[in-house]
Amino acid sequence: MKLIEFIRMALASILDNRLRSFLTMLGIMIGVGAVILLISMTTGFREYLVRQFMGIGTNLIIVNPGKTETKGLGHPGFEGVQKMTIGDTIALRRNATALEGVSSITVGTADVRYVNRERRVMIVGTDEVFVKIISIGVDSGGFFTSEDVDASRRVCTIGYTVKNELFGGKNPLGEIIKIGGSGFRVIGIMEKKGTFMGTDDFDDVVYIPVPAAQTLFNTDRLIGIRAKARSAAMIDEAKEQIRVILKKRHNNKEDFTILTQGSLLSSLDSILNALSAVLAGIAAISLLVGGIGIMNIMLVTVKERTREIGIRKAVGATKRDILLQFLLESMILSLMGGVVGILIAFTGGVVLSRFLPQMPPLMEPWVIALATLFSGGVGIFFGVYPAYRAAHQDPIEALRYE
Partner 1 sequence: MKSDPLICFEDVKKVYGSGPIRVDALANINLRIVHGEFIAILGPSGSGKSTLMNIIGCLDRPTTGRYLLENVDVSGLSDEALAHIRNKKIGFVFQMFNLLRKQTALENVQLPLLYSGVDQKARREKGLLVLKKMGLEGRWNHRPNELSGGECQRVAIARALITDPPILLADEPTGNLDTKTGIDILSLFKTLNREEGVTLILVTHNPEIAKEARRRIYIQDGKIVEDTGGGEP
Per CB under 8 A, residues contacting partner 1 are 1-2, 5, 12, 16, 307-308, 310-321, 395-396, 399
Considering beta carbons, is residue 49 or 311 the nearer one to partner 1?
Answer: 311
Q: How far is the CB of 306 from partner 1 (least distance, A)?
A: 12
CA 85 remoteness from chain centre: 33
Q: How far is the CB of 376 from partner 1 (least distance, A)?
A: 24
Q: How far is the CB of 51 from partner 1 (least distance, A)?
A: 55
Q: How far is the CB of 329 from partner 1 (least distance, A)?
A: 14
Report the alpha-carbon distance of residue 14 to residue 6 in Å, rounded: 12
Q: How far is the CB of 390 from partner 1 (least distance, A)?
A: 14
Contact 172, 185 (CB under 8 A): no
Q: How far is the CB of 380 from partner 1 (least distance, A)?
A: 22
Report the alpha-carbon distance of residue 213 to residue 216 in Å, rounded: 5
Q: How far is the CB of 11 from partner 1 (least distance, A)?
A: 13
Considering beta carbons, is residue 192 or 307 the nearer one to partner 1?
Answer: 307
Length of the chain counted residue by residue: 402
Q: How far is the CB of 268 from partner 1 (least distance, A)?
A: 56
Considering beta carbons, is residue 13 or 103 the nearer one to partner 1?
Answer: 13
Q: How far is the CB of 287 from partner 1 (least distance, A)?
A: 30
Considering beta carbons, is residue 30 or 399 the nearer one to partner 1?
Answer: 399
Considering beta carbons, is residue 8 or 117 the nearer one to partner 1?
Answer: 8
* Number of C-beta neighbours around residue 181 at 10 A: 9
Considering beta carbons, is residue 16 or 79 the nearer one to partner 1?
Answer: 16
Considering beta carbons, is residue 15 or 197 the nearer one to partner 1?
Answer: 15
Considering beta carbons, is residue 197 or 315 the nearer one to partner 1?
Answer: 315
Q: How far is the CB of 294 from partner 1 (least distance, A)?
A: 21
Considering beta carbons, is residue 5 or 111 the nearer one to partner 1?
Answer: 5
Considering beta carbons, is residue 212 or 309 the nearer one to partner 1?
Answer: 309
Three-state SS sequence of the chain: CHHHHHHHHHHHHHHHCHHHHHHHHHHHHHHHHHHHHHHHHHHHHHHHHHHHHHHCCCCEEEEEECCCCCCCCCCCCCCCCCCCCHHHHHHHHHHCCCEEEEEEEEEEEEEEEECCEEEEEEEEEECCCHHHHCCCCEEEECCCCHHHHHCCCCEEEECHHHHHHHHCCCCCCCCEEEECCEEEEEEEEECCCCECCCCCECCCEEEEEHHHHHHHHCCCCCCEEEEEECCHHHHHHHHHHHHHHHHHHCCCCCCEEEEEHHHHHHHHHHHHHHHHHHHHHHHHHHHHHHHHHHHHHHHHHHHHCHHHHHHHHHCCCCHHHHHHHHHHHHHHHHHHHHHHHHHHHHHHHHHHHHHCCCCCCCCCHHHHHHHHHHHHHHHHHHHHHHHHHHHCCCHHHHHHCC
- Using a 10 angstrom Cβ sphere, with 0-12 exposed, 13-18 middle and 19 or more buried, the burial of residue 8 is exposed
